[in-house]
Amino acid sequence: MTELFSPARFGAIELSNRVVMSSLTRNRAGAGNVPTDLVAEYYRQRASAGLILTEASPISPEAHGYPRTPGIHSGEQIAGWQKVTKAVHASGGKIAIQLWHVGRISHPDLQPGGALPVAPSAIKAAGQVFTGQEMKDFVTPRALETAEIPGLVASYAQAARNAMAAGFDGVEVHAGNGYLLDQFLRSSSNQRTDAYGGNKENRARLLLEVLAAVCAAIGSDRVGVRLSPVTPFNDVSDENPQATFEYVVEQLNAFKLAFLDVLQGAGGAPQDQWLAFDYDRLRATYKGNLILNNGYDFASGTDAVKSGRADAIAYGRLLLANPDLLERFRRGGPFNQPDYEKLYMGEEKGYTDYPTL
C-alpha cells in the first residue's frame, strides 16, 4: 500500500518518500540576494524529505518584493545556489527551486531605479510591504503592456535554465499566493481587456505561456506548478474559483508536468469559501502527480496518500522546526515548535539551530 514513506517518481525526479518540504520564505540571503553557506546548511539539514521545494526565488531584478530573498537571475546567485544543491545531493536529497515574480506585491524602494512594480492591471493591493527599513503601503502598480509579456515569459524560461545550471532537480512555477501569475488568474486583480484578461481562458493565458516556455527550456518532466485556488493572501479573489481553477488544471494535463502542488485554503480564506471549494474535483481532473499542502500532520497526510487523494504531502511549519521530520514521524514524535518571532530574521537562530533527535 502506498504511504508517506513509499518512494515515488515525479517526472524525472525520483523521491525516496512522499514527504515534500513546502516553499517557505526565510529572508536569509546575503548581499546581492545570493544564497549563503547558512542557506545551504538549512536545506542540507532537511534533505531526508523526498523533495525540497525551496523558498520562492525571484526570476529577475523586477520580480523582487521582499528584502533578502535569494534570486536566480545573476551569476553570483547561481553560484550560491550551487552550494545549496550540492549540499542537499550529498545528503541524498532532491531539490527544486520555486520560480517567483511578485508583481504588484512590491514597492519602488525594492525595484530597479525606483520604478513602479508591474501587475496585470493598475489596481493597488490592500496592505503594506517591508522595504528593508520600514513598512510602507503598497503602491498602485503599472499595468504590463501586452508587448512586454513575451519578455516576461522569456525571463521565466531563462530562470529555469539558470536553475539547471545551479544543479536543481527541477523547478516549481509559483502561480499562487497572490503573486504575479495568480494576479493574472484572479478576476479581482485582472481587469485587462486584451487577450490576457476577461474570461477565465484569457486570464490563464500567461500561466500557460510561461509553462510552455519553461517546459521547452528544461523539459516538462522537471517542471511543477503551485496553485492556491481560494487563498485571499495579498488581496486577491475570484468571482468563480471552482470554474477558474478547474479550467487551469484541465489545461495542465497537456504539459505532462512532474507535479501539481495545491495549497488548500490558507492566508485567511473564509471557512465557507474554503469548504465550498471541491479539491476532489481537481484531483479527478488532473492526470499527473498531485501534492496537497497546508495543515497536514502525519495521520492526515498518511490518510490522504493512502486514499489516493494525493501522491505526496507538503509540510511547511513541521519541517521548518523539525529538520529530521521523517525520523520523528517514524517514532511518533516528539516535535519541535516553530519560533515564529525568528521566521524572517535572526540568521542561524530559528533557522539552523532546531535540535534533532
- pLDDT > 90? residue 131: no
The predicted structure's pLDDT at residue 33? 96
Residue 71: inside a domain? yes
Residue 276: inside a domain? yes
Task: Report if pTM > 0.95.
Answer: yes
Locate the DSSP E strands across the chain.
Answer: 8-10, 13-15, 19-21, 51-58, 95-100, 118-119, 128-130, 135-137, 142-143, 170-174, 223-227, 259-263, 290-293, 312-315
- Measured distance CA(312)–CA(15) in Å, rounded: 10
Task: Report phi then psi at 351, rounded to 5.
Answer: -130, -65
Residue 12: inside a domain? yes
User: Which one-letter amino acid corresponds to residue 243?
Assistant: A
The predicted structure's pLDDT at residue 134? 87
- pLDDT > 90? residue 283: yes
98 is in which domain, residue-wise? 8-321
DSSP for 149-168? HHHHHHHHHHHHHHHHHTT-
pLDDT tens digits for range 338-348: 999 998 988 99
Residue 26: inside a domain? yes
Residue 191: inside a domain? yes
- pLDDT > 90? residue 16: yes
The predicted structure's pLDDT at residue 267? 63
> Which of 144-153, 158-167, 258-267 has the least mean pLDDT?
258-267
- Measured distance CA(123)–CA(139) in Å, rounded: 9
Q: Using CA of residue 13, residue 19, residue 25, residue 31, what is the dihedral sign? A: negative
The predicted structure's pLDDT at residue 133? 83
Strands 259-263 and 223-227: parallel
User: In the chain, what percentage of residues exceed pLDDT 90?
Assistant: 93
Residue 71 sits in a domain whose CATH number is 3.20.20.70
Confidence tier at 269 by pLDDT (50, 70, 90): low
pLDDT tens digits for range 75-115: 999 999 999 999 999 999 999 999 999 999 999 999 999 99
Beta bridge partners of 53: 96
The predicted structure's pLDDT at residue 132? 82
The mean pLDDT of 197-219, rounded to a whole number, is: 98
The mean pLDDT of 313-342, rounded to a whole number, is: 96
Q: How many CB atoms lie within 10 A of CB 271?
A: 8
- pLDDT > 90? residue 265: no
Residue 268: inside a domain? yes
The predicted structure's pLDDT at residue 55? 98
Overall number of domains in the chain: 1
Confidence tier at 271 by pLDDT (50, 70, 90): low
Q: How many CB atoms lie within 10 A of CB 356?
A: 11
The predicted structure's pLDDT at residue 1? 67
User: In the chain, what percentage of residues exceed pLDDT 70?
Assistant: 97
Residue 253: inside a domain? yes
User: Quick one: cell of 309?
Assistant: 487523494
Write out the catalytic residue numbers: 179
Confidence tier at 335 by pLDDT (50, 70, 90): very high
Residue 103: inside a domain? yes
